[in-house]
Amino acid sequence: MIARVEGTGRPLVVLHGFGVDHRIMLPLESMVSDVSWRRVYVDLSWAEAVHDAAASSAQDVAEGVLAEVEEHLGTEPFAVIGNSFGGMIARWLAHERRIRVLGLATVAGLVQPDHAARDVPPRTVLHRDDAVLERAGDARDDFAAMSVVQDARSLESFEEYVLPGLRGADPGAMERIASAYALPAVPEVAHPEPFAAPTLHVLGRQDHVVGYEDALTLRDHYPRGTYAVLDTAGHNVHLEQPGVTGALVRDWLARVDRHAEHHGTA
């Protein structure tokens, strides 16, 4: 499951979303490559390099991530960032290992696993370039389905970071996990004491997949939380708004560093 490790310093566990792999989170490298954090990228059960036939639920994925992280890091404190489905798993991990988790971040994080119950905005495209869509070829439908800004830069990011994971994903594993897509208990309900470490929640104003309203309902649980709803951004908010996302992630990591030093955490 550990797909790639970059940098030195405190560990930052990085979890991707459903149907893709760790490469969708690699834009983090240009955002934080000069800070003292060791990025530990994890591939989840359907990823091309994993194809875990044993995983049949979100809970299986969560427990697999926990086992992998503990085998890799031992008792070392860490922070965790998760995208989409990986955001739900990151929240679970942060609460299950609250004493060791220095901070939590989610990027377009999944809060409501029931698609029908999600509070989402209508599908919106703010910029469309027909020449770019034509250039996308057989990836056009996948690109157009998620992109709020359909320009050349967005297509390049999609082709580099998203498409490889989509094409390598194991449909059998995805079907099994999708049938039990919700965790048995909401992490914040299972562990109702507010999460006191610094958090970050980056959301897309035009995210029609998971929306942003459901994440905002958890704000009182995270007293050290920054919530940012970014305009001109859909479910791939970190690809469509990389500059703002990068600044927010860097601010979060600085807050985590200060929190760890204040509490004497290595």
pLDDT at 53: 75
pLDDT tens for each residue of 247-264: 999 999 999 999 998 876
pLDDT at 182: 96
Contact indicator for 158, 143 with CB cutoff of 8 Å: yes
pLDDT at 52: 74
Contact indicator for 124, 232 with CB cutoff of 8 Å: no
pLDDT at 33: 86
The SS3 of residue 116 is helix
pLDDT at 205: 98
| Cα 63 from Cα 76, distance rounded (Å) | 18
pLDDT averaged over every residue in the chain: 95
pLDDT tens for each residue of 43-83: 999 999 887 778 999 999 999 999 999 999 999 999 999 99
Does the model's pTM come out above 0.85?
Answer: yes
User: Hey, where are the domains in the chain?
Assistant: 2-120+167-262
Fold annotation for 2-120+167-262: Rossmann fold (3.40.50)
Question: Going along the chain, which residue ranges are E strands?
Answer: 2-6, 10-15, 37-42, 78-83, 101-107, 127-128, 149-150, 199-204, 225-230
pLDDT tens for each residue of 161-205: 999 999 999 999 999 999 999 999 999 999 999 999 999 999 999
Contact indicator for 203, 237 with CB cutoff of 8 Å: yes
Give the H/E segment covering residue 58: helix 58-73
